[in-house]
Amino acid sequence: MDRMGSDLTRNGPVERDIEQAITALKKGAYLLKYGRRGKPKFCPFRLSNDESVLIWFSGKEEKHLKLSHVSRIISGQRTPIFQRYPRPEKEYQSFSLIYNDRSLDLICKDKDEAE
């Protein structure tokens, strides 16, 4: 079956979590962002109206990531950046967007937000 198919019952919990994360991002959500430096911090994230750009604020600066630049989505905490501050209890709420030679490493705030 096509992995992007509309039959969500065949997808595992990871695919379902990603679908739900996208739904949450349309409304706007605070996600725990793991940066290359410093400790993880909560940042407001949202999707653009046409759902093509992920927008967030880091400090006072607005950042953008065109979703067309994302080459992979990795569920869990498998990137080197996550390994610096592992949170195994949040594994199922965590994912990384891989783009260019970088990753955007995020954890949904709580179980409700992941769902």
Rounded average pLDDT per 10-residue block, the chain, 115 residues: 42 62 81 92 93 91 95 94 94 93 89 56
CA distance 12 to 65: 26
| Full set of structural domains in the chain with CATH | 8-114 (2.30.29.30)
pTM of the full structure: 0.77
